[in-house]
């Protein structure tokens, strides 16, 4: 995986084997049977869009997010590809195996001093980041198809990160969750509210209706 000129694409059919993947300059290892975005061609544009959504062009330096929370982080795709732009990154994931690989991937990419990964329920990550500055924290959400539960959204609104980037493979539950976040933020945040700044689809699953 360190020899770019001689890298070869191979198919892993044993779900217990370890997959070696590269997204841009970031290297990943994960168990073949675990979740990882499966269309490598789209992953650099996708992670770049997430980065650009956090660091909006023209944003003043003293307003740029310095901390990142990656909910549903898996083996660290967004946390690690975005980590060089942040002072501190914290990710959480239900799968202990994925967290083990996220920690390994942080070491492989020499980002283990910036990134911390925790196995547990996604909504509990807010208990772990109470020392993060709210107005300089970005949150990336990449939940399963069922989307975010009500408790997660309540805690998100209580924490009030500066920026939220919601990645989804199910636009129906994403639309439901965004509606809840926008409506409840207007009702509950005392003059503050979240707004949608941008929306973009990525064709990770060609010739299907999934995005």
pLDDT tens-place string over residues 103-157: 999 999 999 999 999 998 877 889 999 999 999 999 999 999 999 999 999 999 9
Q: How far apart are CA 22 and CA 110, in angstroms?
A: 15
Distance CA 83, CA 76 (A): 10
What pLDDT score does 14 carry? 63
Alpha helices (H) along the chain: 40-54, 77-82, 96-108, 125-128, 150-159, 171-188
Both tokens of 158, joined, read 């209580």
What pLDDT is attached to residue 2? 55
Q: Identify the top-confidence range among 65-69, 71-75, 122-126.
A: 65-69
How far is CA 25 from each of CA 66, 69, 92, 108, rounded to the nearest angstrom?
21, 21, 23, 12
CA-to-CA dists, residue 8 to 13, 22, 30, 31, 120, angstroms: 16, 11, 17, 18, 35
What does the pLDDT read at residue 106?
Answer: 96
- Give the separation between CA 188 and CA 158, rounded to whole angstroms: 9
Active-site residue identified among 73, 115, 148, 169? 169
Structure token pair of residue 52: 């650009």
Q: Does 115 qualify as catalytic in the annotation?
A: no
Residue 67 has pLDDT above 80, yes or no: yes
Q: What is the pLDDT of residues 23-64, one digit of tens each?
A: 999 998 877 667 777 778 899 999 999 999 999 989 899 999
**Nearest-angstrom CA–CA distance, 107 and 175:** 36
- Per-residue confidence (pLDDT) for residue 70, from 0 to 100: 96
Higher pLDDT, 9 or 128: 128
* pLDDT score recorded for residue 4: 52
Task: Provide the pLDDT for residue 17.
Answer: 79
205: phi then psi, degrees, rounded to nearest 5:
-125, 75
**154: helix, strand or coil:** helix
Burial degree of 192 (CB within 10 A; 0-12, 13-18, 19+)? exposed
This prediction's pTM: 0.90
Average pLDDT, the chain: 89
CA dist 71 to 12, 85, 125, 138, 161, Å? Answer: 27, 18, 7, 11, 13
Contact 159, 134 (CB under 8 A): yes
What is the model's pLDDT at position 34?
A: 72
Describe the strand order of the beta sheet including 137-141 as a list of residue ranges: 115-119, 88-93, 67-71, 137-141, 163-166
């Amino acid at each position: 995986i360190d020899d770019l000129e001689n890298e070869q694409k191979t198919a892993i059919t044993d779900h217990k084997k370890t997959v070696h993947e590269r997204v841009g300059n970031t290297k990943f290892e994960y168990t073949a049977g675990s979740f990882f975005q499966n269309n490598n061609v789209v992953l650099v544009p996708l992670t770049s869009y997430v980065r650009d959504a956090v660091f909006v062009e023209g944003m003043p330096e003293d307003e740029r997010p310095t901390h990142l929370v990656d909910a549903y982080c898996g083996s660290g795709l967004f946390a690690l590809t975005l980590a060089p732009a942040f002072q501190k990154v914290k990710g959480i994931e239900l799968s202990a195996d994925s967290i083990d690989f996220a920690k390994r991937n942080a070491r492989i990419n020499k980002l283990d001093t910036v990134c911390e990964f925790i196995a547990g329920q996604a909504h509990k990550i807010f208990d772990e980041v109470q020392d993060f500055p709210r107005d300089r924290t970005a949150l990336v959400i990449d939940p399963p198809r069922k989307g975010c539960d009500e408790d997660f959204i309540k805690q998100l609104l209580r924490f009030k990160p500066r920026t939220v980037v919601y990645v989804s493979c199910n636009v129906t539950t994403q639309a439901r969750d965004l509606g809840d976040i926008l409506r409840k933020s207007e009702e509950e945040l005392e003059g503050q509210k979240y707004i949608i700044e941008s929306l973009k689809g990525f064709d990770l699953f060609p010739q299907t209706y999934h995005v």
